[in-house]
């Protein structure tokens, strides 16, 4: 099969084919080959930082917009931001686009009885605006993806349980589809993604077919802190692409379960390994602050994000989910911002700075008080830079957009 290649914002080649992630394909020089080489360099740098040179990861422009409410202004702001990034037509015209949503946790997990989309989920207004603009830019098919904690019921049922209307999304563009990626779904087998260079935590990951059968991958995230990883933005959003049929504490020992059950606790704690049918860990650690950032960096290296969009209009401080602990303080906040970029590391670095933190910080310094920096790890894998001096910011300047989140160490009672 002849594979075409084109330049993407990461500065590395990637295959323009729905078979892009098949690890046995060696035709031409792909983004995977490129990252494989860079990951081996990065692996040495992570193990022996004094004896290995760090690869100068690519940079990409990031757009910030002030947007105070969830109304027509969302579409206007995103449209302007996409123009500032060079337009969406070249990226999506005639292509299948997959959008990983951030709808973390059950529908009844609320902060002060507020709707989930006002605190820790992306808002349906942002989803609808994004679909509309991608449709206008020529996307031939748009898939909404999330690992819904709802058994094998369709993603649409999870949305309805949250009070959303999936038909509103269907009407936003010509062909909109939904997939609950927490299990096999409509696919016949899991798509295997082997991590270039061997992986920082697992050798590879088995995922729902929708993460393979797409041309363009979008991460639509919420602007939030994270008690394990420091921040959860476009990269950490991809932690949720792993299906609980394989990566939960209730997965079988040999093969994936048919119905997803439980949560991804073993990925945080290292309490058990995935079923024998799946790629296994390459390092041993029980420290969530070591494991979660490395899994996240692995995932964005092997399943590249082509467009990162972060909803920071309304959100919450104090963590990624409300009511996780009686001693943890959560607060609804109103930054009034949208952030977007074509490189997930650069976009998350800018978002981290907007939150009042230093994106160059490492373990022991906010926001990474108890974890390694996913930003640094992803840069070592060659995905993108987290150095603000190398990132062009357009639209609202960081200094004007800054909305300081309190360090997590201050958010306990």
Strand partners, 308: 219, 341
Report phi then psi at 84, rounded to 5. -65, -25
Say which range, 49-58, 299-308, 309-318, 385-394, has the weakest mean pLDDT: 49-58
The pairing of beta strand 216-222 with beta strand 96-100: parallel
pLDDT tens column, 189-231: 999 999 988 999 999 999 999 999 999 999 999 999 999 999 9
Report phi then psi at 188, rounded to 5. -95, -20
Read off the DSSP letter of residue 76: H
DSSP 209-239: GGGTS-SEEEEEEE-EEETTTEEESTTGGGG
Q: Is residue 387 classed as helix, strand or coil in its secondary structure?
A: coil
**pLDDT value at 44 more than 70:** no
Placement of tokens 């958010």 in the chain: 411
Question: Are the C-beta atoms of 125 and 70 separated by less than 8 Å?
Answer: yes
Question: Are the C-beta atoms of 134 and 189 separated by less than 8 Å?
Answer: no
Read off the DSSP letter of residue 7: E
Placement of tokens 């016949």 in the chain: 188
pLDDT higher for 111 or 142? 142
Read off the DSSP letter of residue 124: H
Read off the DSSP letter of residue 251: S
- The whole-chain average pLDDT of the chain stands at 87
- Mean pLDDT for 372-380 is 97
Query: What are the distances in angstroms from CA 35 to CA 32, 49, 391, 394?
Result: 5, 19, 21, 28
pLDDT at 328: 72
pLDDT tens column, 235-249: 999 999 999 999 999
DSSP 253-318: SSS--SS--S-SHHHHH-SSPPPTTSPPBSS----HHHHHHHHHHHHHHHS--SEEEEEESSEEES
Strand partners, 204: 194
Tell me how far the alpha carbon of residue 363 is from its chain's centroid.
Answer: 21
- Mean pLDDT for 107-129 is 93
Say which range, 28-37, 157-166, 262-271, 275-284, has the weakest mean pLDDT: 28-37
Calpha distance 102→310 (Å, rounded): 10
Strand partners, 218: 99, 307
Strand partners, 14: 6
CA nearest neighbour of 338 among 383, 300, 301, 307? 307
- Mean pLDDT for 40-61 is 53
Say which range, 124-133, 293-302, 323-332, 401-410, has the weakest mean pLDDT: 323-332
The backbone region for 319, taken as left when phi is positive above 0, alpha when psi lies in -120 to 50, beta otherwise, is left
Question: Are the C-beta atoms of 205 and 246 separated by less than 8 Å?
Answer: no
- Cβ neighbours of 145 (radius 10 Å): 26
| Position 327 confidence tier, pLDDT thresholds 50, 70, 90 | low
């Amino acid at each position: 099969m002849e594979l075409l290649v084109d330049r993407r914002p990461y500065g590395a080649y990637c295959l323009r084919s729905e078979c892009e992630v098949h690890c046995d394909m060696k035709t031409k020089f792909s983004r995977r080959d490129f990252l494989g080489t860079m990951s081996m360099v990065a692996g040495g740098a992570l193990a022996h930082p004094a004896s290995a040179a760090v690869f100068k990861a690519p940079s990409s422009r990031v757009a910030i917009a002030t947007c105070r409410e969830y109304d027509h202004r969302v579409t206007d702001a995103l449209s302007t931001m996409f123009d500032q990034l060079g337009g969406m037509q070249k990226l999506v015209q005639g292509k299948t686009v997959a959008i990983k949503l951030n709808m973390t946790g059950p529908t009844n997990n609320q902060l002060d009885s507020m709707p989930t989309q006002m605190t820790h989920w992306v808002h349906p207004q942002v989803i609808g605006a994004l679909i509309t603009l991608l449709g206008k830019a020529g996307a031939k098919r748009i898939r909404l993806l999330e690992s819904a904690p709802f058994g094998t019921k369709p993603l649409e049922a999870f949305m309805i349980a949250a009070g959303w209307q999936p038909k509103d999304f269907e009407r936003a563009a010509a062909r909109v589809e939904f997939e609950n990626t927490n299990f096999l779904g409509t696919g016949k087998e899991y798509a295997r993604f082997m991590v270039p260079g061997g992986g920082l935590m697992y050798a590879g990951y088995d995922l729902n077919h929708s993460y393979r059968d797409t041309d363009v991958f979008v991460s639509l995230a919420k602007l939030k802190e994270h008690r394990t990883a420091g921040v959860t933005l476009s990269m950490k959003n991809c932690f949720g692409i792993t299906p609980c049929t394989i990566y939960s504490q209730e997965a079988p020992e040999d093969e994936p379960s048919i119905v997803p059950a439980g949560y991804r606790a073993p990925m945080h704690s290292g309490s058990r390994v995935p079923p024998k049918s799946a790629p296994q860990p390459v390092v041993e650690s029980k420290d969530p602050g070591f494991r979660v950032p490395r899994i996240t960096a692995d995932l964005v290296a092997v399943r590249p994000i082509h467009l990162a969009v972060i909803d920071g209009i309304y959100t919450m401080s104090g963590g990624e989910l409300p009511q996780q602990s009686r001693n943890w303080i959560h607060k609804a906040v109103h930054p009034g911002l949208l952030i977007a970029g074509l490189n997930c590391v650069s976009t998350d670095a800018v978002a981290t700075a907007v939150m009042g933190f230093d994106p160059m910080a490492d373990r022991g310094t906010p926001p990474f008080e108890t974890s390694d920096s996913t930003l640094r790890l992803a840069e070592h894998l060659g995905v993108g830079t987290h150095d603000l001096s190398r990132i062009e910011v357009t639209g609202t300047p960081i200094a004007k957009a800054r909305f300081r989140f309190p360090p997590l160490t201050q958010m306990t009672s």
